[in-house]
Structure 1
């Protein structure tokens, strides 16, 4: 026995490669720290946080307006005149616009065997529902901007649209937007690349934008108005554009019902309500052991007055190298 041990030692000294447990063999015994599924498409969705939201009882919102003339004085419609006080009334539009809430829905199916056997450390059903909810909310923000029916970009008045002066967004362009939404403007909305172009152009002119802190994050401002980033204002019609150039739009928005601004609409009191206008309902388990969940989000937006939104069109986002 002693001779055998000595022989082993001598052998190891002669061969510097010592037999040891390999990493691949050890791996099955090791604990692995795991993350929840990382969904790169998720954004901060600042727009939905900044909106003033109004819950509806029936899913319909009627926007009553005064029938106006060229001057506020023309709103008063005289019935009779006396030597003392003229008698008048304020007339209303006879066919006001009605907004019916839009539905964004999807169905999530999860095999119960999978949920039962592979439910730790992450609940498979909850992870699937959460990822679906995030996707729906991303769609919601996109619709608030781009929907043909109620999106801010498509429903801004023609009188509130202006063209860029010289390609990239300039301080003059931003001031022109402010002249369109001069009654208590709330924030600009722009693609991140458009915001970078604003910063470059303002710095080039010697007026670098200041910053403000909202929701624990810093935002550029112009004339004290925050410039909020969103990738739902597409560049060349794409959410994630390729290349360095491209055209986009910039919005200036006034929000709030009391300010006759923009108001977000949602259905209040839904069964299975998770957040404003969003519900999750369990549909049951079928004969194949598949559990089904219906996710529905009901929303819309109303521009209460034409001067609540202005659009700067055909903004050239350019690129950093154009300024070198």
Structure 2
């Protein structure tokens, strides 16, 4: 008589996982960047969304034609000059621009599927990040108030050899020599500059800001932003040098505090209601602009080759 054959069966992992709780994460978006430009700017509050930039009328390269006299000590009763400083009678006005989007959420989704993460809050979080990314892009590239559109002709220079060199950045520092705050460039442009420094045997030192290391040149940090565009057809980009702050007559960001539904300075989220198809809508708005108080607060280096490799052997 044949012996009984023992049959062993085990629970399959795939089946077992059906009874296990999965640890879930919130949705991560790789498009979120540090956006260093925003915290590095000084932000000036405006009233009624309007900022009027008054400037002195410069009739001469050395400044306004106001007569100032220095008399020698022997002249006890000198004739004092009578003069005044004239103002520009057509000052530029900046108006806050809005970066907006509308979130639509089916109420059935938000009612039933909001554990462990609130669906509306997660959608708002991601869209606010998207709006802030667009804000940084507008601060740099907006055709009216963006940094690149407001560089004075005399503050534009071109690279000497295409690739960004220490000499080129020194030329920028000569343009913005009054207390420069930071360079702003695409990460690939900063990498190209780092290669040139290494080739010359002068690796740039680093400084820590916001808990993050940045390379510097002449003590001025190079701040990366992928919103400084690269022309992929030519492989070129730009490097900006910026002085910030009202006291330094530099570049300032503009915002309006106290907007309805404010969740952050000049950023609002407003519930727009639920329509007959049970769609709940939320309006996300961020109001901002930027002003260059004096022309020598901003300069740009053009035609920066970012991906050119050279055989230096």
TM-score by length of 1: 0.90
- 2:255–2:287: 8 Å Cα contact kept in structure 1? yes
What's the CA shift for 1:83? 5.4
Q: What whole-Å deviation, never above 9, does each CA across 1:10-31 have from its counterpart, x for those lacking one? A: 334xxxxx42211221222111
Counterpart residue number, 2:28: 38
- 2:67–2:81: 8 Å Cα contact kept in structure 1? no
Q: What whole-Å deviation, never above 9, does each CA across 1:56-90 have from its counterpart, x for those lacking one? A: 12100000000012244643169xxx952111111
Question: What SS does structure 2 have at the residue aligned with 1:168?
Answer: coil
Counterpart residue number, 2:54: 64
Distance 2:311 2:182 in 1: 27
Question: What SS does structure 2 have at the residue aligned with 1:279?
Answer: strand
What's the CA shift for 1:234? 1.0
- 1:200–1:323: 8 Å Cα contact kept in structure 2? no
Counterpart residue number, 1:21: 11
Counterpart residue number, 2:84: 89
Output aligned runs, 1:34-183, within 5 Å: 34-72=24-62, 74-76=64-66, 84-183=79-178
Which consecutive unaligned segments of at least 5 residues does structure 2 have? Answer: 69-76
Distance 2:59 2:160 in 1: 31
Structure 1 pair 323–270 and aligned structure 2 pair: CA distance change class (3 A): farther
How many residues matched? 305
Counterpart residue number, 1:15: none
Indicate whether 1:185 and 2:174 are aligned. no
Counterpart residue number, 1:226: 221
Q: Which has a greater percent of helix?
A: 1
Distance 2:308 2:122 in 1: 38
Counterpart residue number, 2:270: 281
Distance 2:237 2:61 in 1: 34
What's the CA shift for 1:323? 6.1
- 1:77–1:90: 8 Å Cα contact kept in structure 2? no
Counterpart residue number, 1:256: 245
